[in-house]
Structure 1
């Protein structure tokens, strides 16, 4: 008879999942994902749509993956030859898994920061700017608008940067900075996907 702690470890393993990289140099690779509260990996179907939108803009881009979670968007960008990616994830288990996955893929151009995305973006710094930013926060926590505002206010975006935002479909119209142009939009079930460009 197993004791409760070993049974709990087994249950956690069962609940852990995987993400699949759908194209590029790591196409078909599966990476483990921790089952942590609020983590909601972007589905393959949505990823395919998003990266079709971004097809001409990934190569050589410096990428920021806010609320990285599984890292599915950032790893997909690196697979498609983005120049670098910074992952922001405050959950320690999820962040440790991101680090392990960068080692599995032998990535030298990925930086994992175990930090709150809003705290990180509150810094007023021009140390690094990004060409492509993913904003895919946990649903129903009112994080997307705050994140978008900080990206703009603290000048994290390079000239003509692209910003992908994924929020819950029932969210009232998302107010983004006035100099962001909406390029693409798609609704997939409870998910609303939008691609903006800094003007």
Structure 2
């Protein structure tokens, strides 16, 4: 997730670990920015157990990239292209360093600078297999709704959207935006949802 205030200074870096695929066990530094909340290992491992370990042929968008943990994990497992969207300049520099460090990443990972919603609106519709959303938790309901609406436009039939939020989204709220929950997980303060378009949801 991106930091909510790009003007704030960073503290000492932490790190995230890529769990599976060709860059498995790679450790990547993460800036200690207020509000930056990399997806925990446990949650990422569960997500890719849900989706399958091999994502070759998948086209993915990590719309609030932050540390890049979600998008780089997908790329490590074969997804291409993987679009990482981030507005914070310091985080973008770190993401570029990750792409340069990971062998072959430059061939499959595309970095886009700017507002996530605006960048999503500029992407082609109905061609993406997986859209990953981890908006700032203090962004308010309107941000989450707008992100889910953009993701609904982007995913292909039978595609997936992954959402992290500070509270669970119930079936009624999701259905109003055209989504149905396929899987859910809570890990601490993080509520994870794997979503499919309601008219394409599995029975």
Shorter chain as denominator, the TM-score bin is 0.7 to 0.9
Q: Counterpart of 2:148?
A: 148
Within 5 A, what are the aligned runs for 1:117-156?
117-123=116-122, 126=124, 129-142=127-140, 143-152=143-152, 155-156=153-154
Kindly provide the CA deviation profile for residues 147-183 of structure 1, in whole angstroms up to 9, marking residues without a partner as x.
001222xx211121100001012x6648335532211
Report how far residue 51 of structure 1 moved.
Answer: 0.9
Extract unaligned runs of 5+ from structure 2.
Answer: 1-8
Query: What is the TM-score normalised by the length of structure 2?
Result: 0.82
Q: Counterpart of 1:159?
A: 157
Distance 2:130 2:189 in 1: 24
- Aligned match of 1:52 in 36, 49, 54? 49
CA 1:148/1:178 → structure 2, altered by over 3 Å: closer, same or farther?
Answer: closer
- How many residue pairs get aligned? The number is 184
Kindly provide the CA deviation profile for residues 23-47 of structure 1, in whole angstroms up to 9, marking residues without a partner as x.
1111100111122232100111111
Distance 2:183 2:154 in 1: 21
* Larger Rg computed on CA atoms: 1
Query: What is the TM-score normalised by the length of structure 1?
Result: 0.84
CA 1:79/1:57 → structure 2, altered by over 3 Å: closer, same or farther?
Answer: closer
Say if 1:63 and 1:130, in contact at 8 Å, map to a contact too.
yes
CA 1:113/1:126 → structure 2, altered by over 3 Å: closer, same or farther?
Answer: closer
Distance 1:147 1:172 in 2: 14
CA 1:118/1:178 → structure 2, altered by over 3 Å: closer, same or farther?
Answer: closer
- Aligned match of 1:84 in 81, 87, 98? 81
Say if 1:36 and 1:94, in contact at 8 Å, map to a contact too.
no
Within 5 A, what are the aligned runs for 1:4-83?
15-55=12-52, 58-83=55-80
